[in-house]
Amino acid sequence: MKKTALIGLYGALLLALPVVASAQALTPLRNLIVALGQIIGILIPILIALALVAFFWGLVTYIWKGAEGHKEGRNIMIAGIVSLFIMVSIWGIINLAQNALGVNPSGAVAVPQVQIPQ
C-alpha cells in the first residue's frame, strides 16, 4: 500500500514539474477535466433512469410472480428507491452548495497565476 502511494506521489510530482517550471500550460489538464465533467453530466440522468426502471421492474416482479416473488420484487423496489434517493439527494446538496457559495457551474473559472517580474 505504501509503495503504491509513493509511486503515485512521484508520478504526480513528475507530471506537475513542467507546470511549476512554467514550461507548459494547463490546457490539456483543463480539457481532461472538462471532458470528464461532460461525461458525468451525461451519466447522471442515465443512472437516475436506470434506478427508476429497476424500481418498476421490482414492482412488476412483485405483482406478477405472486406469493413466491414478493420478497424478490420488494428487494428490487427497495434498491431502486434507495439508489434514487441517494442520487437525487447528492445532486440537490451539490446544487444547494453551488447556490450558497455563488458558484456559477456554466461560468468560466479564472485560473490563479503567479506574476513573473520581467
In this prediction, residue 11 has a pLDDT band, given cuts at 50, 70 and 90, of: confident
Give the pLDDT confidence score for residue 34 in this predicted structure.
80
Q: Could you tell me which residues come within 8 angstroms of residue 83 by beta carbon, excluding any fewer than 6 positions away? A: 51, 54
pTM metric for this prediction = 0.59
Q: Domain-by-domain residue ranges, the chain?
A: 45-98
- In order of 12, 99, 100, 107, 112, the CA distances from 103 in angstroms are 28, 6, 8, 8, 16
Task: Give the model confidence (pLDDT) of 23-63 as tens digits.
Answer: 556 677 777 888 888 898 899 889 999 999 999 999 999 88
